[in-house]
Amino acid sequence: MSRVEIARIPGVHSLNSKKITDERGYFEKFFDKSILESMHLNTGLDSIALSSNKVTGTLRGLHFQTFPFAEEKIVVCISGSIFDVVVDLRVESPTYRMWGATSLDSEEGKLLYLPKGVAHGFQTLVDNSKVLYAITSKYNLLSAHTLSYSDTALNISWPLPVSVISNKDETGVSLEAAVDLWAEITE
């Protein structure tokens, strides 16, 4: 499967945080309801979560939830640096079954808005990387799935060897199974 520019995946938005700097340091805003509403994006957050990753090469994902708990996410790296990946599972999308990636780091202030129907994961590029998530739906065990990060049908070019991964993420489903899971629930 081929890689596509992440900005070409429908519904994925790369945004910049608003940073105000003065002699004390800075104040940075990652969520601005009025800006998201002006873009017709979901502002109804269910939770905010932090992922702390000690070791370079740690891989998390590729996660997605099916309906009725499908979720939209805002993802920002607040410490360190990550290689962030999304896979489009939506059959009606022009980038169906394609993956896109971008680097996020704490210095640049870039964040991603991810729509329902994309699997998401990342690999840490430096030690002690932290990722902040704003999520629009609650976690539901029966709706939560993991797409295999190493599926040869995707052929994702991860930048580093995987150093740390959970058993759940190591044993994710194939791309075929993931698109079937997404399609059967949304039909």
User: What is the set of active-site residues?
Assistant: 63, 133
Q: How wide is the angle at C-alpha 161 spanned by C-alphas 116 and 78, nearest 5°? A: 50
Q: Which element (helix H / strand E) includes 182?
A: helix 175-186
Q: Which element (helix H / strand E) includes 26?
A: strand 25-29
Longest CA pairwise span in the chain (Å): 54
Closest alpha carbon to 122 in 28, 52, 37: 52
